[in-house]
Amino acid sequence: MLRRLFYDARIRDLFWQVAISASLVGLTVFFVRNASQNMVNAGIASGFDFLWRSAGIDVPFTLTGYKSSDNIWALFWAGVTNTLFVSLISMLLATLLGFVIGLARLSSHWLLSAIAGAYVEFVRNIPLLFFVLFWYFGVIAALPQPRDSLNLFSAIFLNNRGLTVPAATSGAPFQWALAAILFAFAAQWLVSRWAARRKAETGADTPVLAIGLVLCALVPIAALVWAARSTGWDMPQAGRFNLRGGFVIIPEFVALLAALVTYTAGFVAEIVRGGIGAVARGQREAAASLGLKPGQILRFVVIPQAMRVMIPPMTSQYLNVLKNSSFGAAIAYPDVVSLFMGSALNDTGQAIEIIAMTLAVYLFFGLIVSALMNWYNARIALVTR
């Protein structure tokens, strides 16, 4: 009887699963009991009440209007917005730079391709933290003092305290401009859909590209110029020792952004190269023999197929940028790790709650990035029967 039970596959499966879950539950109970005992001994409170306490922590750079008299919950959000802010801008710039380097790598010009290759090999084999520290302590610290700032048209100043740019005195015109730009993009999307249907039904061409140029380039430029002219500007002025006025982008942000962009671009370049290289040569040749022009070949044949290969690895690069933005903690860029997991944790000592909330931020926004990229991937995926 016991022998039969021992050799029964279903019983064995059940046994292993019960054994593993029992040991996990046991381990968890052990950890939780120790933790609660240790916390009682150390006099650390538990629960989320600390979030409504006044933070009293100064944040040098914030987009949420946080003040040090606000509560810790507001500090948390200031950190989250700073994390998202640097991540989004890095993703955008790293994609652009990565595309340029990847295309240079594929160029038929030997020297251009060799230099792009050297850049990729250089960047991929060095720790990101090295770049962060290098940009911060090596490059930005070596910039001149505020009174000898490097300046561009006496409007943008760069020095070892950061980048000072003119600040708009009123945000309202820019909100209108943003609305106009979004409206133009939506219109372009509708026009291209309508043009595709018209082409399928009647075979007639629509000058989509020209319309797109007007809607996606001229409208935004016009809107931004209008907005810039209809608001006042607070121009930075060179004082005796320091600059006055303007909006200061802190050096930590500049260093972190530069590090994330230069590092990630090396990885994006390889993805671009792999994606375009994965499109079979016959595809281009077939397109050319059908009489498509080089631009059309790239647009209708090569890029759509390359995108399918590129989207999954690009997704993981975007997720990496989101996670890597936490490297800012090493130079005290006020992101969620350094503000919340660093300063707030030091003040309150409530490690478990704070760590859980910080990790939840990354998991949550990571899921959002994956969901968006998967949605886009499904849209462009090859439809097979």
**Contacting residues toward another protein, per CB under 8 A:** 13, 16-17, 20-21, 24, 30-32, 34-35, 37-39, 41, 109-112, 115, 121-122, 124-130, 133-134, 137-138, 141-142, 319, 323-327, 329-330, 337, 341, 345, 351-352, 355, 358-359, 362-363, 366-367
Are residues 256 and 327 in contact, defined by beta-carbon separation less than 8 angstroms? yes
When the beta carbons of 133 and 288 are compared against another protein, the nearer one is: 133
Q: How far is the CB of 204 from another protein (least distance, A)?
A: 36
Task: Output the six-digit token pair for 101.
Answer: 């380097």
Q: Report helix, strand or coil for 206.
A: coil
Of 1 and 9, which CB lies nearer to another protein in the complex structure? 9
CB of 351 to another protein, least distance (A): 5
Cα(336)–Cα(79) distance, integer angstroms: 4
| Shortest distance, position 127 Cβ to another protein, whole Å | 4
Return the number of the residue (209 or 352) whose C-beta is nearest another protein: 352
Which one, 121 or 285, has the nearer CB to another protein? 121
Q: Name residue 304's beta-bridge partners.
A: none
Within 10 Å of residue 159's Cβ, how many Cβ atoms? 20
In the complex, least distance from residue 284 CB atom to another protein, rounded to whole angstroms: 20
In this complex, which beta carbon is closest to another protein, that of residue 57 or of residue 177? 57
Cα dihedral across residues 133, 139, 145, 151: positive or negative: negative
If phi over 0 gives left and psi between -120 and 50 gives alpha, with beta otherwise, what is residue 246? left
CB 71 within 8 Å of CB 51: yes
Min. distance of Cβ 16 from another protein in angstroms? 6
109 versus 293: smaller Cβ distance to another protein: 109
Question: What three-state secondary structure class fits 306?
Answer: helix
Residue 109: CB minimum distance to another protein, A: 5
Spatial separation of the C-alpha atoms in residues 131 and 138, rounded to whole Å: 9
